[in-house]
Structure 1
Amino acid sequence: MTATDQGTSAGPALDGIILTDGAAGKVKALLDGEGRDDLSLRVAVQPGGCSGLRYQLFFDERSLDGDIVKEFGGVNVVTDRMSAPYLMGATIDFVDTIEKQGFTIDNPNATGSCACGDSFH
């Protein structure tokens, strides 16, 4: 990979998903806890949710035809070719506050979302 393929938290890029340093660190810690080095973080968009589309984030060992793979801090982030257009420029972060703990997705392509924050249109 070239330096331009490496992810940073400096700002959104238009060529795919951005995983912040904090999110990459959390994913790496979860993978280390599982004792697996063969898993990637798969980010997908699926039909469903109250707004029409919902995000899916999960660990995956598969490699599908047409997958887009980017590396962030030792973590591979994989997106299938059907989901990629919906996630162009989206930033995945990990928040850990008194009010909320978990992964968040800031997606400039989402024209609206539901109250739960898990789905968009």
Structure 2
Amino acid sequence: MTVQNETTTHGVTLSDAAAAKAKALLDQEGRDDLALRIAVQPGGCAGLRYQLFFDDRSLDGDLIKEIGGVTLAVDRMSAPYVDGASIDFVDTIEKQGFTIDNPNASGSCACGDSFN
């Protein structure tokens, strides 16, 4: 008899800078009960849009990974779209914020808000 192990983690990575920034934001709010969630929703001019937010919910089928003291959650419907993606945090003169580099995206819109 073969027993299959259910996958409970995902293939999204979080850079040290992104983990540190997310942890600092959580610490600033005094919250240790939130997960950083990456999700994919229909929308945007290219068809799909990322959502990156702190979430206090636990959804059925969530894939969870602990990185740098931050819980990173992906719902099971979004997981195939973001598998292999990396989340970083940049803080330069030109740009500040979280960025997502996704090898699964075949293209994106000019504004960078959505992908396909």
Q: How big is the shift at 1:55?
A: 0.2
Structure 1 distance, partners of 2:23, 2:110, is: 29
* TM-score, normalised with respect to structure 2: 0.90
Higher Cα Rg: structure 1 or 2?
2
Q: How big is the shift at 1:56?
A: 0.1
Q: Report Cα offsets for 1:83-104 as digits up to 9, x if no partner.
A: 0000010000000000000000
Match of 1:113 among 85, 90, 108: 108
Matched, 1:60 2:67: no
Q: How big is the shift at 1:116?
A: 1.8
Q: How big is the shift at 1:42?
A: 0.6
Match of 2:91 among 85, 92, 96: 96
1:46 maps to which residue?
41
Structure 2 distance, partners of 1:77, 1:50, is: 27
SS in 1 for 2:72: strand
Structure 2 distance, partners of 1:118, 1:99, is: 17
* TM-score, normalised with respect to structure 1: 0.87
Q: How big is the shift at 1:28?
A: 0.2
Q: How big is the shift at 1:117?
A: 1.3
Match of 1:29 among 24, 28, 39: 24
Q: Report Cα offsets for 1:29-68 as digits up to 9, x if no partner.
A: 0001111000000100000011000000010011111000
* Alignment size in residue pairs: 108
Structure 1 distance, partners of 2:25, 2:109, is: 28
SS in 2 for 1:31: helix
Gaps of 5+ in 2: 1-9
Gaps of 5+ in 1: 1-14
- Find runs of 4+ consecutive structure 1 residues off by over 3 angstroms: none
1:4 maps to which residue?
none
Q: How big is the shift at 1:16?
A: 1.0
Q: How big is the shift at 1:74?
A: 0.3
